[in-house]
Structure 1
Amino acid sequence: MDSNKSKRSVFVTVGTTSFDSLIKTVNTDQLKEALLNKGYTHLVIQMGRGSYFPKKSNGKDGSLVVDYFTFSSSIAEYLKSASLVISHAGSGSIFETLKLAKPLIVVVNENLMDNHQSELAEELAERKHLFCGHPKTLYQVIESLDLDSIVRYKSGDATPVAKLINRHLGFPVD
């Protein structure tokens, strides 16, 4: 790999869950090749409680540099340094990434019962704040990735809602 080439990192996170189907998908040669073709150079995987361990790579053969870990006391630095984030559909991971204005692909875990997380991901994708897919469609999402189509997410002010709730419950309102 050209040592002058700038580092463009993809960070994958599953939070504290087990989401082996996502980890297996990002570990495929096809997906790694798609990321390379989009100009990414590094793949860092936070695999949570999963039992599937991806293959590490030093990238010396022109492939992606791949590393993984299970948990970290904070993923904030990984998110900040990422050029692209691929995440499970947990609201904490989604909003932390959007707050940093990082391009985000949310992958829905179809194995979860009553998967309310998919509703959040699909709504934010419809509003063009992120991209949404499933392990089986992640390759296609990356292939068609158009980062210029993202609409920056602006978090709202919850103060009026909090005041309304406090007033309704009989608490003092400032």
Structure 2
Amino acid sequence: MSEIDDISESKSVVFVTVGTTSFDALVRAVDSQEVREALFRKGYTDLVIQMGRGSYIPSKSNGEDGSLSVDYFTFSPSIAEYLKSASLVISHAGSGSIFETLRLRKPLIVVVNEDLMDNHQSELAEELAERNHLFCARPQTLYETISAMDPNSLVPYQPGDATPVAKFINRFLGFVDE
């Protein structure tokens, strides 16, 4: 095992993603001193924030003062590597981000953007939280959610088999089953 492997294994990374939108309330919440301290108390060492189109700029920190190391960026061609290396993901309520994180079996806190009109995303997040696949929060409740969460209490998400639905749609549209 190389020195780089030793370093990466000693890190416990929280990855925050807002997708392609602007969700300054989430970025502001994870940038708050109380949320940073709660994450650090839970054993996380690094916080990486994908801030999208937002205008709020979080504070960077190198973590040398015995606190969380914090970095941010706006966009990346792919967030797959960030998700894979994360110990915890804090995400907006976009279904793509939710299901990609659940597929990787990463602990997930979904933060609902209450500023969106007709927010069907909150229904998805709340349903999956009710089934114990993830934690659901609002920007103003993120600290409490982090403080109370037990990632070991989450139930792994098992994707369903879409074959019966696809066959039904094909029959309905007049296509012949193979």
The answer as to 2:38 corresponding to 1:34 is yes
Give the structure-2-normalised TM-score. 0.95
Residue in 2 that maps onto 1:131:
135
Cα deviation 1:99-139 (Å, max 9, x = unaligned): 00000000000000000000000000000000001000000
| Residues 149-168 of structure 1 mapped to structure 2, 5 A cutoff | 149-168=153-172
Give 1:148 deviation, angstroms. 1.5
Cα deviation 1:19-56 (Å, max 9, x = unaligned): 00000000011100000000000000000010001011
Could you tell me which runs of 5 or more consecutive residues in structure 2 were left unpaired when the two chains were aligned: 1-6
The answer as to 2:72 corresponding to 1:68 is yes
Q: Which has the higher helix share?
A: 2
Give 1:4 deviation, angstroms. 10
The answer as to 2:15 corresponding to 1:11 is yes
* CA distance in 1: counterparts of 2:125 and 2:111, whole angstroms: 8
Q: In structure 2, the residue corresponding to 1:85 is in which secondary structure?
A: strand
Q: In structure 2, the residue corresponding to 1:132 is in which secondary structure?
A: strand
Q: In structure 1, the residue corresponding to 2:10 is in which secondary structure?
A: coil
Could you tell me which runs of 5 or more consecutive residues in structure 1 were left unpaired when the two chains were aligned: none
Give the letter for the 2:130 counterpart. Answer: E
Give the structure-1-normalised TM-score. 0.97
Residue identity (%): 73
| Residues 10-159 of structure 1 mapped to structure 2, 5 A cutoff | 10-159=14-163
Q: In structure 2, the residue corresponding to 1:114 is in which secondary structure?
A: coil
CA 1:169/1:25 → structure 2, altered by over 3 Å: closer, same or farther? same
Instruction: Give the count of matched residue pairs.
Output: 172
* CA distance in 1: counterparts of 2:146 and 2:127, whole angstroms: 19
